[in-house]
């Protein structure tokens, strides 16, 4: 409960500090103020306890410390924190930047799309107005020209009429809203492809810049600028490290450097170097993308020329996909222009946070301090230790990783941004680590070292030195981002959440309601239908399989079946027909009837039989 009350008090302190700085002419973002306030509370030298309630005197002391620190323009630590806040709030990777650009473009075109898709024109004049809005949409969507450019509007109208004449408006109006929006996007791509082809053929192209040519010159120029600035800041960092090492070896000679905040200056240069490396990596990626796009665009244009040539008409199903492909490639060129502009602006704006270096350490002063001092670059320091490595047999409870024994060795996530894990907390400097010495795996995290001796000392008690590094980050808050210690100080600087947010470190993690539903049986059933528990059934199957081993399959082929194919015939069905060959007739004849008299006998012993014919004559029948 006390912690929650303390946090609410700190929120009031943040508002009060912002107001006092504004009253003295320094308008600072709430993100920066919140970071500095919590950094001051975190610093053990200021003796603020987050677990107890801050008194009124504590609040006033905290406000005064924060205002003093924020108004101290000669402190490299403040410049580094400002640089980190600026980068977090403004930097975006390729995917984020392009998706944001697409969202902004959709937002700008939304009113026009709504006016087109929701209209229901009936009169001819209304039809023409909607068609003109479609022309404007196509022009704005493609980004090739302005609606105020008469020549560009004329080109778009002519290209649109060739693929979507006004007679098709009746069909367009009958479509659904989603279908209309999709057709508008397809029309924009088709028209863009047609205009690009016409420009290639010297038949138009008003308002269309030569993006491939511009990018081929601008990207190398931007890369050279980044390289020059990166080399300059690396040289400065190497000089600072040499002076800091000499201070530790000979404190008397370099006693005046104690008051010049040399460590803060080193951290400032190191952070600037890290940000420049990110921008340089993006610039290299852009250069590779543009090189690939150039080849694809030329190939697509050549295919289109061969398809169209001098034909008066071409099948739409042949040429439309080619126009669409041209449009997609050109959109990628536009994306690269946007990314290059973004990187250039970021590089220029980061320069302001390095201006304090020339004020604290002018070139003449550095030259005099470095007399007799050997300045080593990071590459030279790593080369000096390439022949040494940790002897694994001397460590029984530690796991060491080496290039020849570890897969994906170069892709391991090294702690502290690749700096020596021992020198940060002990010496307070950022020496480059050499993975070839051996990478220590401790609690699923990986650590590198600048020398074999530093690796041995750190490995004796890793938790002790890890805690020393955390304590060092509490004193120098800029190390939290430089050494990538966000997981140790999430309550102070949630960088992933603060990016592009208006309140930075004070903004809680975004939350939203969500629901999930899973199947009753996520995994497929594992019932084995062929399983038998009865051993006699298993014996029967085994005997059957054993008998199969002695069976042979025979087959033969005859001359009649060789190369036989299926044949089909078709015949006319027989028709119904009937014939009559005779007719039925009948006749009636008398039935013969004969009566025999005397068969029964009589009184006389001799039988006298008399035959009487009773059959009727034929003429009576």
Q: What is the pLDDT of residue 494?
A: 39
Residue 461 has pLDDT above 60, yes or no: yes
Whether residue 227 lies inside any domain: the answer is yes
Cβ–Cβ < 8 Å for 86, 79: no
Residues 216 and 189 in one domain: no
Which H or E element spans position 400? strand 399-401
Number of domains comprising the chain? 4
Main-chain phi, psi angles of 59, to 5 degrees: -65, -45
> What radius of gyration, in Å, describes the C-alpha atoms of the chain?
47
Residues 341 and 275 in one domain: yes
> What is residue 190's three-state secondary structure?
helix
Q: What is the pLDDT of residue 278?
A: 93
Q: What is the pLDDT of residue 508?
A: 42
Calculate the average pLDDT of the chain. Answer: 84
Main-chain phi, psi angles of 401, to 5 degrees: -115, 140
Residues 139 and 60 in one domain: no
CB-facing half-sphere around the CA of 500: CA atoms within 13 A? 7
CA distance 129 to 135: 10
Q: What is the pLDDT of residue 218?
A: 93
Whether residue 524 lies inside any domain: the answer is no
Residue 463 has pLDDT above 80, yes or no: yes
The H helix count followed by the E strand count for the chain is: 21, 5
Per residue in 350-362, pLDDT (tens digit) is: 999 988 888 888 8
Scored b (16 or more CB within 10 A) or e, 355-380 reads: ebbeebbeeeebeebeeeeeeeebee
Whether residue 90 lies inside any domain: the answer is no
Q: What is the pLDDT of residue 260?
A: 66
Strand 399-401's sheet: what is its strand order? 399-401, 439-442, 445-447
Residue 562 has pLDDT above 70, yes or no: no
Average pLDDT of the segment spanning 15-24: 87
Per residue in 475-493, pLDDT (tens digit) is: 888 898 899 887 777 655 4
CA distance 348 to 183: 41
Token representation of residue 503: 């309140």
Residue 297 has pLDDT above 70, yes or no: yes
Better pLDDT: 554 or 162: 162
Closest of 7, 44, 118 to residue 476, by C-alpha: 44
Whether residue 363 lies inside any domain: the answer is yes
User: Which residues have CB under 8 Å from 292's CB, separation 6+?
Assistant: none
Tokens 């509370």, residue located: 41
Tokens 């170069």, residue located: 410
Which H or E element spans position 598? none
Residues 347 and 472 in one domain: no
Cβ–Cβ < 8 Å for 281, 230: no
Per residue in 382-439, pLDDT (tens digit) is: 999 888 889 988 888 889 999 888 888 888 899 999 999 999 989 888 999 999 999 9
Number of other residues whose CB lies within 10 A of the CB of residue 218: 18
Token representation of residue 347: 């590089």
pLDDT-based confidence at 186, cuts 50/70/90? very high
Interaxial angle between packed helices 30-42 and 2-23, expressed in degrees from 0 to 180 and rounded to the nearest 10: 130
Average pLDDT of the segment spanning 304-328: 83
Least confident of 483-487, 516-520, 549-553: 516-520
Residues 273 and 321 in one domain: yes
pLDDT-based confidence at 621, cuts 50/70/90? low
User: Which residues have CB under 8 Å from 391's CB, separation 6+?
Assistant: none
By residue range, what is the domain housing residue 354? 211-370
DSSP state of 561: T
Residues 389 and 355 in one domain: no
Token representation of residue 411: 């892709």
Closest of 171, 101, 162 to residue 135, by C-alpha: 162
Residues 426 and 493 in one domain: yes
Closest of 517, 492, 497 to residue 507, by C-alpha: 497
pLDDT-based confidence at 123, cuts 50/70/90? confident
320, 344, 370 — which closes off a domain? 370
Per residue in 25-78, pLDDT (tens digit) is: 888 888 888 888 888 888 888 877 766 677 788 788 888 888 888 888 888 999
Tokens 């001796």, residue located: 453
Whether residue 114 lies inside any domain: the answer is no
71, 96, 111 — which closes off a domain? 71
Per residue in 207-252, pLDDT (tens digit) is: 888 899 999 999 999 999 999 999 999 999 999 999 888 888 777 7
Residues 450 and 495 in one domain: yes
Whether residue 586 lies inside any domain: the answer is no
Cβ–Cβ < 8 Å for 26, 71: yes
Residue 571 has pLDDT above 80, yes or no: no
Residues 132 and 159 in one domain: yes
Scored b (16 or more CB within 10 A) or e, 444-456 reads: ebbbbbbbbebbe
Burial of 120 (0-12, 13-18, 19+ CB in 10 A): exposed
Q: What is the pLDDT of residue 464?
A: 92
Token representation of residue 564: 């036989």
Whether residue 94 lies inside any domain: the answer is no
Residues 274 and 404 in one domain: no
Scored b (16 or more CB within 10 A) or e, 303-315 reads: ebeeeeeeeeeee
Residues 293 and 334 in one domain: yes
Number of other residues whose CB lies within 10 A of the CB of residue 248: 12
Cβ–Cβ < 8 Å for 590, 617: yes
Strand-pair partners of 372: none
Cβ–Cβ < 8 Å for 380, 109: no
Q: What is the pLDDT of residue 336?
A: 94
Cβ–Cβ < 8 Å for 180, 120: no
Cβ–Cβ < 8 Å for 11, 504: no
Residues 260 and 355 in one domain: yes
CA distance 319 to 494: 52
Whether residue 585 lies inside any domain: the answer is no
180, 201, 222 — which closes off a domain? 201
């Amino acid at each position: 409960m006390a912690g929650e009350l303390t946090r609410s008090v700190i929120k009031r302190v943040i508002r009060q500090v912002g107001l006092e700085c504004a009253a003295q002419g320094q308008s600072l973002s709430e993100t920066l103020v919140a970071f500095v306030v919590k950094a001051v509370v975190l610093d053990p030298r200021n003796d603020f306890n987050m677990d107890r309630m801050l008194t009124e005197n504590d609040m006033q002391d905290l406000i005064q410390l924060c205002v003093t620190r924020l108004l101290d323009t000669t402190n490299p630590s403040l410049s580094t924190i400002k640089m980190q806040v600026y980068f977090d709030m403004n930097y975006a990777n390729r995917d984020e930047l392009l998706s944001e650009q697409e969202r902004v473009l959709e937002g700008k075109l939304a009113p026009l799309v709504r006016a087109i898709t929701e209209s229901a024109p009936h009169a001819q004049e209304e039809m023409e107005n909607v068609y003109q809005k479609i022309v404007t949409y196509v022009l704005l969507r493609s980004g090739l020209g302005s609606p105020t450019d008469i020549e560009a509007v004329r080109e778009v109208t002519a290209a649109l009429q060739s693929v979507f004449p006004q007679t098709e408006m009746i069909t367009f109006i009958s479509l659904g809203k989603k279908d209309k929006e999709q057709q508008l996007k397809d029309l924009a791509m088709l028209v863009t492809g047609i205009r690009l082809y016409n420009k290639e053929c010297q038949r138009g192209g008003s308002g269309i810049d030569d993006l491939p040519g511009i990018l081929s010159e601008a990207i190398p120029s931007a890369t050279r600028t980044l390289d020059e600035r990166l080399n300059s800041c690396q040289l400065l960092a190497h000089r600072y490290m040499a002076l800091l090492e000499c201070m530790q070896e000979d404190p008397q000679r370099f006693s005046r450097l104690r008051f010049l905040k040399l460590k803060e200056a080193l951290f400032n240069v190191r952070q600037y170097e890290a940000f420049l490396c990110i921008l340089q990596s993006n610039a290299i990626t852009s250069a590779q993308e543009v090189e690939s796009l150039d080849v694809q665009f030329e190939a697509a244009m050549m295919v289109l020329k061969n398809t169209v040539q001098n034909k008066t008409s071409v099948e739409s199903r042949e040429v439309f996909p080619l126009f669409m492909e041209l449009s997609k490639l050109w959109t990628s060129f536009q994306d690269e222009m946007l990314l290059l502009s973004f990187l250039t602006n970021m590089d220029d704006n980061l320069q302001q946070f390095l201006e304090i270096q020339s004020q604290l350490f002018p070139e003449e002063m550095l030259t005099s301090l470095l007399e007799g001092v050997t300045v080593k670059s990071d590459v030279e320091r790593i080369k000096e230790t390439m022949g040494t490595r940790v002897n694994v047999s001397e460590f029984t409870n530690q796991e060491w990783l080496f290039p020849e024994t570890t897969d994906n060795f170069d892709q391991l996530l090294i702690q502290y941004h690749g700096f020596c894990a021992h020198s940060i907390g002990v010496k307070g400097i950022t020496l480059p680590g050499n993975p070839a010495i051996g990478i220590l795996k401790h609690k699923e995290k990986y650590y590198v070292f600048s020398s074999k001796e530093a690796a041995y000392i750190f490995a004796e008690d890793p938790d002790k030195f890890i805690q020393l590094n955390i304590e060092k980050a509490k004193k120098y808050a800029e190390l939290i981002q430089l050494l990538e210690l966000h997981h140790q100080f999430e309550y102070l600087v949630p960088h992933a959440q603060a990016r592009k947010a208006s309140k930075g470190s004070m903004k809680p993690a975004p939350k939203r309601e969500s629901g999930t539903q899973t199947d009753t049986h996520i995994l497929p059933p594992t019932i084995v239908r062929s399983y038998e528990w009865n051993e006699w059934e298993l014996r029967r199957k085994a005997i059957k399989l054993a008998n199969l081993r002695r069976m042979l399959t025979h087959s033969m082929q005859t001359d009649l079946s060789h190369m036989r194919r299926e044949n089909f015939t078709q015949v006319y069905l027989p028709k119904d027909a009937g014939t009559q060959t005779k007719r039925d007739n009948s006749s009636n004849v008398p039935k013969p009837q004969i009566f025999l008299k005397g068969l029964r006998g009589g009184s006389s012993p001799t039988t006298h039989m008399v035959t009487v014919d009773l059959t009727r004559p034929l003429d009576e029948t």
